[in-house]
Amino acid sequence: MPAKRLPMRKIKEVLRLKASGMSSRKIAQSCGVSRPTVGEYLQRASRAGLTWPLPEEVSDSTLEHQLFPDPPTPAQRDQALPDWLYIQKEFRHKHVTLFLLWEEYRAQHPKGYQYSWFCERYRQ
């Protein structure tokens, strides 16, 4: 279960205190949160390209959307299914292993399925 988010007021305070040169430990003590929480919010602000002072036109909802963007949609991967007939035919040759066939498959499809998936589907 994800942790509950801090109110925007506290997040802004974390950013303000970091910009003033305060250490993460002191910020955590001052805001009453853990040091890893401070680090997480600072990383989120850095990834969003936010610096203190925030522009005046940035509302709390805009800031929240910048710090917590919607999760990316899964991209279409180059996960072509292996040619099982070819694999079955090649597997019958001497000194051919399933790992060698998987390596050949991955050479053709670099973002293809992992070895465990490959073996599981082959056995099915």
> 78 CB contacts (<8 Å, ≥6 apart)?
109, 110, 111, 112
Query: Tokens standing for 98?
Result: 């399933």
Q: What is the pLDDT along the chain (124 residues), one digit of tens a residue?
A: 567 888 999 999 999 999 999 999 999 999 999 999 999 999 999 998 888 888 888 888 888 989 988 876 655 444 788 889 998 998 899 898 999 999 998 888 888 888 998 888 888 8
Mapping DSSP to helix (H, G, I), strand (E, B) and coil, where does residue 69 land? coil
Taking the C-alpha atoms of residue 14 and residue 67, their distance in angstroms, rounded to an integer, is 13
Residue-level pLDDT at 123: 87
Residue-level pLDDT at 12: 92
Angle between helices 84-91 and 98-108 (to 10 degrees): 140
Full residue range of the structural domain in which residue 110 is found: 84-123
Residue-level pLDDT at 29: 95
Are 17 and 50 found together in one domain? yes
Residue-level pLDDT at 54: 85
Q: For the chain, what is the domain count? A: 2
Within a domain: residue 43? yes
Residue-level pLDDT at 75: 55
Are 12 and 63 found together in one domain? yes
Query: Tokens standing for 89?
Result: 């035919």
Are 94 and 51 found together in one domain? no
Q: Taking a C-beta distance cutoff of 8 angstroms, is the pair 8, 64 a contact?
A: yes
